[in-house]
């Protein structure tokens, strides 16, 4: 039967984050008491002022197709947001609203990558980057980083990874899965390297921008004048506003790239959901301070989970500065046999935790770095305490 399917789809691997979340749901439905720390999804409700804007939009009769690249009022709100939060000046033709940041990333890949083009991905990278690149016939070029350098790529590493075929660099800051944040100076050092290679387009995924614990301020590549013309800034409302299911993401980009994304989206999905778009106008125009209470809560949970994990022999954690994941190095367990099961790699370890501790996490292999597992702390303190205590018990 698989010959009925394309080679493209046969070689595509499922999203490991979504797959693990589905597996946890399945096990839960079969009666198992699973704690899900696999999915990057805030456990908060969407704030009332945003919900009310959506209800208002329904009552106001918003039900038609929207412009493919989004309502003008939403594009203007995005322009205001980019200026206010990132000091980037975009104009309407540079903005495209999509069905989640995921579609925004897919659009950009399809718009920019030719067969055989290389795309540099500092590891660990967000799970879908490498498959989105491959779906566009690009070649992911993984750059290894280390926990000692807080999982950040240095300028020297970037320089060494560039070849005449390099077309793009993709990264997220704050980073999913490591929580690392590139400072303005670190981004400047990368930009200095890129100045010597004008063919390279940068995708700066800033979806965790507001989930920042205050050590390193957020910085945007496109805010550097000399990078503005070749940087695509990706963002969305899923994380900071607890709106994962509303499915709105967006880009600010050089106009020709935005135009290409608009053309593609017009043939594939059309404009994003009309009610969600109206609600996002409110989400973006209100002060980001209104969602700070969630960030404060994530910060408490980060402290808690780091304390608990650091108390278990074999877990080595960096201190994430943003997002809501810890990415402990678990190589100390490789080659060991626990409760009769041999752990050879991070995938074995994540599977072991699911089966023996009833805790769902995600293997680091999914993020291009097989030394770690990713644990989301977008969960209640009680769940975090119970999960880490079960993990401690299972690895004793
Ligand atoms: N980029 C990163 C780094 C993410 O973690 C996610 C997770 N959802 C996305 C993009 C996709 O976001 P969305 O839900 O808006 O599609
Ligand atoms: N981005 C989230 C995560 O990394 C949601 C799942 C996904 O879209 O892959 O868990």
Ligand that comes closest to the CA of residue 207: 1
Q: Which fold has domain 48-290?
A: 3.40.640
Pairing of strands 231-236, 201-205: parallel
Question: For ligand 2, atom 10, which residue shows the shortest CA distance?
Answer: 40
Measured CA to CA, the distance from residue 133 to residue 153 in angstroms comes to 19
Pairing of strands 35-36, 359-360: parallel
Tokens 């925004």, residue? 104
How far apart are the CA of 42 and the centre of ligand 2, in A? 11
Measured CA to CA, the distance from residue 154 to residue 150 in angstroms comes to 11
CB 212 within 8 A of CB 186: no
Q: Is any atom of ligand 2 closer than 6 Å to the C-beta of 249? A: no
Residue 389 — φ and ψ, nearest 5°? -70, -40
Measured CA to CA, the distance from residue 17 to residue 38 in angstroms comes to 6
Question: For ligand 2, atom 4, which residue shows the shortest CA distance?
Answer: 40
Pocket of ligand 1 (CB under 6 A): 40, 100-102, 126, 172, 176, 205, 207, 236, 238, 244, 249
Residue 196: exposed, middle, or buried by beta-carbon count in 10 A (0-12, 13-18, 19+)?
A: exposed
Q: Is any atom of ligand 2 closer than 6 Å to the C-beta of 359? A: no
Residue 387: exposed, middle, or buried by beta-carbon count in 10 A (0-12, 13-18, 19+)?
A: buried
Ligand that comes closest to the CA of residue 41: 2
Contacts of 112 (CB under 8 A, 6+ apart): 167, 168, 201, 257, 260
pLDDT value, residue 46: 98
Nearest partner of 319 among 386, 310, 65, 311, judged by Cα: 310
Ligand that comes closest to the CA of residue 19: 2
Strand order, beta sheet including 201-205 = 95-98, 249-252, 231-236, 201-205, 166-172, 118-122, 139-143
For residue 39, the ligand 2 atom closest to its alpha carbon is: 10
pLDDT value, residue 3: 86
Q: Is any atom of ligand 2 closer than 6 Å to the C-beta of 22? A: no
Nearest partner of 49 among 273, 268, 250, 283, judged by Cα: 283
Measured CA to CA, the distance from residue 71 to residue 278 in angstroms comes to 8
The CATH number of domain 2-44+291-394, selected from 1.10.10.10, 3.40.50.300, 3.20.10.10, 3.90.1150.10: 3.90.1150.10
How far apart are the CA of 361 and the centre of ligand 2, in A? 12
Ligand that comes closest to the CA of residue 39: 2
pLDDT value, residue 19: 87
Instruction: Look up residue 206 and give its two tokens.
Output: 């800033």
How far apart are the CA of 271 and the centre of ligand 1, in A? 18
Mean pLDDT by 10 residues, the chain (396 residues): 88 90 90 94 96 98 98 98 98 98 98 98 97 97 95 98 98 98 98 97 98 97 98 98 98 98 98 98 97 98 98 96 98 96 95 95 95 96 98 96
Domain ranges of the chain: 2-44+291-394, 48-290
């Amino acid at each position: 039967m698989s010959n009925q399917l394309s080679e493209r789809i046969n070689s595509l691997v499922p999203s490991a984050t979504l797959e693990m979340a589905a597996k946890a749901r399945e096990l839960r439905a079969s009666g198992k008491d699973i704690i899900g720390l696999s999915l990057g999804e805030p456990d908060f409700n969407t704030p009332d002022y945003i919900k009310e804007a959506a209800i208002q939009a329904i009552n106001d009769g918003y039900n038609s197709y929207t412009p493919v690249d989004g309502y003008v009022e939403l594009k203007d709100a995005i322009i205001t947001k980019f200026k206010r939060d990132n000091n980037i000046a975009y104009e309407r033709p540079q903005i495209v609203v999509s069905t989640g940041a995921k579609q925004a990333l897919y659009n950009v890949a399809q718009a920019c990558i030719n067969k055989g083009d290389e795309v540099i991905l500092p590891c660990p990278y967000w799970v879908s980057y490498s498959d989105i690149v491959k779906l566009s016939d690009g070649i992911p070029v993984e750059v290894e980083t280390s926990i000692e350098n807080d999982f950040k790529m240095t300028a020297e590493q970037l320089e060494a990874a560039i070849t005449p075929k390099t077309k793009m660099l993709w990264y997220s800051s704050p980073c999913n899965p490591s929580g690392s944040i590139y400072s303005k100076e670190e981004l400047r050092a990368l930009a200095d390297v890129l100045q010597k290679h004008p063919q390279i387009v940068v995708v700066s995924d800033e979806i965790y921008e507001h989930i920042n614990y205050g050590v390193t301020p957020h910085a945007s590549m496109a805010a550097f004048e000399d990078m503005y013309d070749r940087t695509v800034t990706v963002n969305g409302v899923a994380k900071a506003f607890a709106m994962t299911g509303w499915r709105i993401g967006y880009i600010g980009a050089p106009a020709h790239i935005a135009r290409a994304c608009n053309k593609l989206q017009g043939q594939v999905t059309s404009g994003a959901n009309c009610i969600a778009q109206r609600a996002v106008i409110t989400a973006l125009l209100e002060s980001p301070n209104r969602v700070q209470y969630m960030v404060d809560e994530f910060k408490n949970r980060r402290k808690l989970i780091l304390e608990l994990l650091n108390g278990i022999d074999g877990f080595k954690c960096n201190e994430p500065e943003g997002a809501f994941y810890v990415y402990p190095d678990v190589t100390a367990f490789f080659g060991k046999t626990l409760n009769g099961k041999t752990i050879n790699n991070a995938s074995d370890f994540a599977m072991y935790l699911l089966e023996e501790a009833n805790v769902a996490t995600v293997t680091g292999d999914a993020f291009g770095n097989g030394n770690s597992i990713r644990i989301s702390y977008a969960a209640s303190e009680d769940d975090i305490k119970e999960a880490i205590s079960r993990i401690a018990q299972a690895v004793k």
